[in-house]
Amino acid sequence: MIIEALLAFTLASAIVVFLSPDRYAGKLATALSLVPLAGSLWMWVEFAGEGNALLADSDIAFETTAEWVTFSVEAFEWTLQWHVGVDGISLPLLVMTTILTTLALVSSWTPIDTRTSQFYGLMLFMETALVGVFVALDFFVWFVFWEGVLIPMYFLIAVWGGPRRKYAAMKFLVYTNLASLVMFVGVFALLFGLGDGISTLSFPEIAQAIRDGQLGSFAGMEPDLLKLVAFSLLFVGFAVKVPIVPFHTWLPDAHVEAPTPVSVMLAGVLLKMGTYALLRFNFTMLPDVARENAEIIAAIGVISVIYGAMLALAQRDLKRIVAYSSISSMGFVIIGLVAFTPHGLGGATFQMVSHGLISGLMFMVVGVIYNATHTRMVGDMSGLADRMPWTVGVFVAGAFAYMGLPLMSGFAGEVLVFIGSFHSEAISAAPLFTAAAMFGIVIVAGYLLWAMQRTLFGPFELGTDYEIGRAPLHDVAPLGVLLVLIVLLGVQPDVIYEAIQDAVVPLGEPLAVVPDVLLSGGELR
């Protein structure tokens, strides 16, 4: 019952903080967030699950199932149930969520000074929904949490955001809601196609029924066409959330207008909802369709890598640079997933966690710089290294992590994706797709080095009248924690990669063969 306790406590904390006096809200929210953080770490230490939670013969950790209500749609009858649990894919994302939430709350102490109790209450409410997304194993429960994330995010941008906050919040809500509708149609197309082949909306039951060939005809579509239509609807619905080019246009506006702590959660966790859902639905439930269209999906991933990096190269706002970097990084995840090799799938999942930490760090650094200079424009400042040495040092380290510097998590994630995709049998001409994606790293290095050279080094200049100095400890401390985690995963990726491999290997085995030399207990050799 640890998952239920974690969800209940986080939701209760949100309510308590929402009703608390403004002057206590920040510290109270941070203190309360330590409890779900400790709970998730305890789950990681005690984790003993085996296999993939959606496939047969798996041992789902911390699983709870309870029937709720049975309902009928036309001739079909399904039972809704409370079904939660974690495996080696979902648990690392759950732990990352609780870590980033606590650190984002600490980073809010400086910039958030109005209606603070409402702000911190919404942040904790969002954490509740995010945790629910990663632990839910029933479609109805999962969808409630999925949509529940949108409510606090909309208000956090619309109320505490920048000058164009209402436009950005509305654009975010419209895009993601329409995407959810498309995804919803795709799921129910599968459910109606399965008919009485399933009795619940449990993910494992749905996945196993589809893999066992129980999908029938629906709306005049034969099973193969129905699979393709459902896959396409699901892919588009989740691609908006990731986001993947060309469904990315809402992201820069949301990031630029959102306050820094909200940008941390948006880039660090919310984008991973899309890639996590793609892995669970498209690449686990419908792997044959993904394999048949692997070249198209890989091309979309490569385009996202290159185009996102090129857009970042053209920006002058530091937040926009980091935002477009996220689009590029998520392209690597798509390439790894469609490779259908153990290291491709494992590297993609590792990259989700790695990017969550690195992007959170970069947005926090930009926020600290903005708190001091009141500008994010590259041309408005230079020589910050002399005035903010600790912040600038972390900025440089985070940028190198984004570029894939060895001994940092970005390097581990990208290397695993490249090795997995290079040896893919699902993608024809896999080495060419991999090489094209690798070129994106060159562009990433170009725009990050350019931004650092213009803002951090050289003679000190500031296009505002503000005096700046060393950032306060509570602004810098979260940066240090994230940097330590990034280095830890870079030096010792097996901290999470062994569990990830255990969950993704069953997905790759039926569809791809990887040379034995690449896989040995989840480690490269």
Residue 515 above 80 pLDDT? no
Query: Do 284 and 337 belong together in one domain?
Result: no
Query: Do 187 and 172 belong together in one domain?
Result: yes
d(CA 109, CA 105): 7
Residue finishing a domain among 242, 257, 288: 288
Q: Check residue 525 and give its pLDDT.
A: 40
Block residue for tokens 């809010």: 108
SS3 at position 86: strand
d(CA 2, CA 9): 10
Q: Check residue 135 and give its pLDDT.
A: 97
Q: Check residue 348 and give its pLDDT.
A: 95
Query: Do 525 and 484 belong together in one domain?
Result: yes
The backbone torsions φ and ψ at residue 286, rounded to the nearest 5 degrees and listed phi first, read -125, 55
Q: Check residue 513 and give its pLDDT.
A: 41
Q: Check residue 84 and give its pLDDT.
A: 96
- Tell me the torsion sign for CA atoms 258, 264, 268, 273: negative
Residue 342 above 60 pLDDT? yes
Q: Check residue 98 and give its pLDDT.
A: 97
Residue finishing a domain among 224, 256, 288: 288
Q: Check residue 465 and give its pLDDT.
A: 64
Instruction: Identify which of 399-403, 449-453, 518-522 has the greatest average pLDDT.
Output: 399-403
Mean pLDDT of 14-37: 95
Q: Check residue 245 and give its pLDDT.
A: 86
Rounded to the nearest 10 degrees, the angle between the axes of helix 494-508 and helix 342-373 is: 140
d(CA 493, CA 368): 29
What percentage of the chain exceeds 70 in pLDDT?
95
* Of 388 and 119, more confident: 119
Mean pLDDT of 93-98: 97
d(CA 474, CA 357): 18
Block residue for tokens 């650092």: 452
Residue 519 above 80 pLDDT? no
d(CA 460, CA 469): 12
Query: Do 427 and 505 belong together in one domain?
Result: yes
467 φψ region: left (φ > 0), alpha (ψ -120 to 50), beta (else): beta
SS3 at position 144: helix
Query: Do 228 and 317 belong together in one domain?
Result: no
Q: Check residue 451 and give its pLDDT.
A: 86
Query: Do 167 and 115 belong together in one domain?
Result: yes
Query: Do 311 and 456 belong together in one domain?
Result: yes
Query: Do 305 and 279 belong together in one domain?
Result: no
d(CA 67, CA 165): 42
pTM to 2 decimal places? 0.93
Query: Do 283 and 302 belong together in one domain?
Result: no
Query: Do 153 and 18 belong together in one domain?
Result: yes
Q: Which domain holds residue 31?
A: 1-288
Residue finishing a domain among 236, 262, 288: 288
Query: Do 391 and 493 belong together in one domain?
Result: yes
Residue 149 above 90 pLDDT? yes
pLDDT, tens only, 68-91: 888 776 667 788 899 999 999 999
- pLDDT, the chain, mean: 90
Q: Check residue 265 and give its pLDDT.
A: 94
Query: Do 241 and 304 belong together in one domain?
Result: no
Q: Check residue 466 and give its pLDDT.
A: 67
Mean pLDDT of 147-158: 94
Number of domains in the chain: 2
Q: Residue 382: how many CB atoms within 10 A of its CB?
A: 18
Q: Check residue 521 and give its pLDDT.
A: 41
Residue of 161, 367, 158, 362 whose CA lies nearest to 258: 161
Q: Check residue 382 and give its pLDDT.
A: 83
Least confident of 6-15, 278-287, 472-481: 472-481
d(CA 12, CA 32): 10
Residue of 154, 15, 132, 32 whose CA lies nearest to 85: 132
Mean pLDDT of 323-333: 90
Q: Check residue 473 and give its pLDDT.
A: 85
Q: Check residue 420 and give its pLDDT.
A: 92
Q: Check residue 423 and give its pLDDT.
A: 87
Mean pLDDT of 200-215: 92
Residue 511 above 80 pLDDT? no
